[in-house]
């Protein structure tokens, strides 16, 4: 499975877009990129996933570079409830390998 690099922490002003980067330079051709988040003391929550094309759902947008070596999760209008640890997870096979993620703090 591909290794990932995410910044350990980020701040974002409430109402602004939060852009969370992830490097996954060793990703293989059949590995999807998943994003999860974990709000304090809760189980991880699925956000979005994609393979090659950009994806959008009601929670977020996922931008994957053409070479698939990196991706960016975009929360278009961050709220205080979006404060959480965000995990970028390239996945193939059975397991989701959670790294250390990015701790996002949304500031009022």
Partner 1 sequence: GAGVSQSPSNKVTEKGKDVELRCDPISGHTALYWYRQSLGQGLEFLIYFQGNSAPDKSGLPSDRFSAERTGGSVSTLTIQRTQQEDSAVYLCASSIPGRMNTEAFFGQGTRLTVV
Does position 100 interact with partner 1 (CB under 8 A)? The reply is yes
Residues 66-95 that bind partner 1 (CB under 8 A): 87, 91-95
Binding to partner 1 by CB under 8 A, coded x per residue (else -) over 15-34, reads -----------------x-x
What does the alpha-carbon distance between residue 82 and residue 76 come to, in Å, rounded to a whole number?
11
Question: Residue 21 burial (CB < 10 Å; 0-12/13-18/19+)?
Answer: middle
Residue 77 Cα distances to 14, 52, 54, 106, angstroms: 7, 24, 18, 10
Q: Which of 10, 49, 59, 105 binds partner 1 (CB under 8 A)?
A: 49
Q: How many residues bind partner 1 (CB under 8 A)?
A: 21
Does position 53 interact with partner 1 (CB under 8 A)? The reply is no
Nearer to partner 1 by C-beta: 43 or 108? 43
Question: Residue 71 burial (CB < 10 Å; 0-12/13-18/19+)?
Answer: buried
By CB under 8 A, name the binding residues for partner 1.
32, 34, 42-46, 49, 51, 87, 91-101
């Amino acid at each position: 499975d591909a290794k990932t690099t995410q910044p350990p922490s980020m701040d974002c002003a409430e109402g602004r877009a939060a852009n969370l980067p992830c490097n996954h330079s060793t990703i293989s051709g059949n590995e999807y990129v998943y994003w999860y988040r974990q709000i304090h003391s809760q189980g991880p929550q699925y956000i979005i996933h994609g393979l090659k094309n950009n994806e959008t759902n009601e929670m977020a947008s996922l931008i994957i570079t053409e070479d698939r070596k990196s991706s960016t999760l975009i929360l278009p209008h961050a709220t205080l409830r979006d404060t959480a640890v965000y995990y970028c997870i390239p996945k193939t096979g059975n397991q989701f390998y959670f790294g250390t993620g990015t701790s996002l703090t949304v500031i009022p």
